[in-house]
A and B are shown apart, each in its own frame.
Chain A
């Protein structure tokens, strides 16, 4: 009996190993096909102009007519898609569902998500420009090693820098590279206008709390450093309903009891729905908050003073998303006046 069991364990592990091999074989064939593509792209490169772009790693001479563009940066997808830029490869599971031009494009090579990236497929797509960022920042060195001929840019907001300036830097740099300076400037202007509106409409007497709803649990988003809404507290100069030292900048927010939220009794709630970005049918944050018996007396929920970030925010935190959120905050603030 014992030996039969051992046998089946061995068989199972062999099957697993074989599954792994077949994956590798697929990659090899990918490499072969896209090596052919690269010859044509190299030929036209000689005629193109270059611009000097400064990113997180220094200055780069960047061709203004890149032939094969790859981006791993969630903040770049929406902007590039709206400018009609073609990609050769991208981490498709990370592309927000709202960006259909990329999400549904069969020609874009999928390099997997950040937990299991297929960096070989990225290299096999033979990019000459890679815009790296967000969930892929930790792979910067690997990507650089695997793509020695490509220009790799990264505009991930830097620690200690103001987020609004960082978002603008990212947008304007993309505009430079792809010759869309006017469009980029328009995005920046829209953002500035939205920020101004939100600042003007906000009554600093009213307290605000940011929360992140994930898996039916409510997490606390710290002013200043929490995911997505943290910087908005600084930008719009919001008065936090609850300020705690040593709060983490954890992306899920801190585990907090509903009692603490009820005790802080915020006048406004800013809600990031993490699950909405990932799964279409997940329990929406709205039900989690509104059907919570312990929260029904909180001013923000009683008076429906809740601002929900767009459902794709969690995977689409670029200047456009921030502009949308600032505008809906401004609308809500103005209506409450």
Chain B
């Protein structure tokens, strides 16, 4: 016990430094820009304050929670698979969440957001487990094979969703939900997002164990870690954040991929001290993308998933190219 205390003391000193403070300040400033960007003239209108409370604050909170949660689940997934290229949207987990949502909507179209969320979370859990089970059977674990398997799995699931939606006349609704967009985030619609705060806290709590798990099952088991249980917990965390974010916002592609990689490129691979940075960067990336999405064709909005998709695809390609160079 005393040993842990000493180690915690060491990392916590490293956790809070001037840089992190500056980073936090920058992100807070960015969120300030976000909170004052919008179509309604909140200062001149009589009900400005009301509108501010009804749409601006929820939207900004949603940006914080979904950005941090997706970045974290990307990180957890990368540790559990020991692969830098995976995250919920390159492993099919997002597609599973969408299928879950669709199933709930087919059987109970008027169900509350909580029920929809449970459906999405259950399906993404199953989906993530299938992906991990699949990985165990694949002997070729090269860094590119894993995301390719994941993307293929996602494509299969999403074609099942499309077929199902086609047969049940839900195709357009599927498109609407999947286009990750903060347009409809407002009081009464986003509250379940607070659940992902629990995920963020849990990732901090399990940080050290996840780092060890990132060294592989054998090493982790050797140092006395219950690898299977950790895998289950990690998957549950990923499923919760993916499910909740998919239901409230839609898909935020590549976010979990870009953020942990940028952070580890700059800071190296010390998970515990990286965690706050992953959170901050996740929030910053999603906020910038949302700002672009809502101002570029104002008063209309572009789905934030489009902006993220473009940015994310570029980073993804850059990473592959970079990795190739390193290999040579």
- Say whether B272 faces chain A, with CB atoms less than 8 Å apart: no
Interface flags, A81-94, vs B, CB<8A=1, else 0: 00000000000010
Contact B300 A254, beta carbon cutoff 8 Å: yes
Contact B186 A292, beta carbon cutoff 8 Å: yes
- Which chain A residues border B170 with CB–CB below 8 Å? 278-279
Contact A2 B166, beta carbon cutoff 8 Å: no
Interface flags, B171-187, vs A, CB<8A=1, else 0: 11100110101011011
Interface flags, B23-60, vs A, CB<8A=1, else 0: 00000000000000011110001010011001100000
> Given A5-B137, A263-B41: A215 and B176 within 8 A (CB)?
yes
Contact B184 A283, beta carbon cutoff 8 Å: no
Contact B184 A217, beta carbon cutoff 8 Å: yes
Which residues A231-260 have CB closer than 8 A to chain B? 242, 244, 246-247, 252, 254-260
- Which chain A residues border B41 with CB–CB below 8 Å? 263
Contact B300 A258, beta carbon cutoff 8 Å: no
Q: Is the interface on chain B under 10, 10 to 19, 20 to 34, or 35 or more residues?
A: 35 or more
> Given A256-B299, A281-B109: A215 and B40 within 8 A (CB)?
no
- Which chain B residues border A36 with CB–CB below 8 Å? none
A262 to B302, alpha carbons, bound, how many Å? 19
A149 to B43, alpha carbons, bound, how many Å? 68
> Given A216-B184, A293-B188: A262 and B40 within 8 A (CB)?
yes
Which residues A200-229 have CB closer than 8 A to chain B? 214-218, 220
- Say whether A294 faces chain B, with CB atoms less than 8 Å apart: yes
Contact B166 A259, beta carbon cutoff 8 Å: no
- Say whether A274 faces chain B, with CB atoms less than 8 Å apart: yes
- Which chain B residues border A1 with CB–CB below 8 Å? 137
CB distance from A61 to the nearest CB of B (A): 38
* Most chain A CB atoms below 10 A, which of B169, B297, B303: B169
- Say whether A161 faces chain B, with CB atoms less than 8 Å apart: no
Contact B302 A259, beta carbon cutoff 8 Å: no
CB distance from B66 to the nearest CB of A (A): 17
Contact A2 B300, beta carbon cutoff 8 Å: no
A interface residues (Cβ-Cβ under 8 A, vs B): 1-2, 5, 93, 115-116, 214-218, 220, 242, 244, 246-247, 252, 254-260, 262-263, 274-275, 278-279, 281-283, 291-294, 297
If A217-B181, A279-B169 are given as contacts, then 14 extra A-B residue pairs at C-beta distance below 8 Å, sorted by A number, are: A2-B138, A215-B172, A247-B300, A254-B300, A255-B181, A255-B301, A257-B38, A257-B301, A260-B298, A262-B51, A263-B299, A291-B188, A293-B54, A294-B55
Q: What 8 A-B pairs have minimum CB-CB distances, sorted nearest first?
A: A215-B173, A215-B176, A260-B299, A260-B39, A259-B40, A259-B39, A281-B109, A278-B169
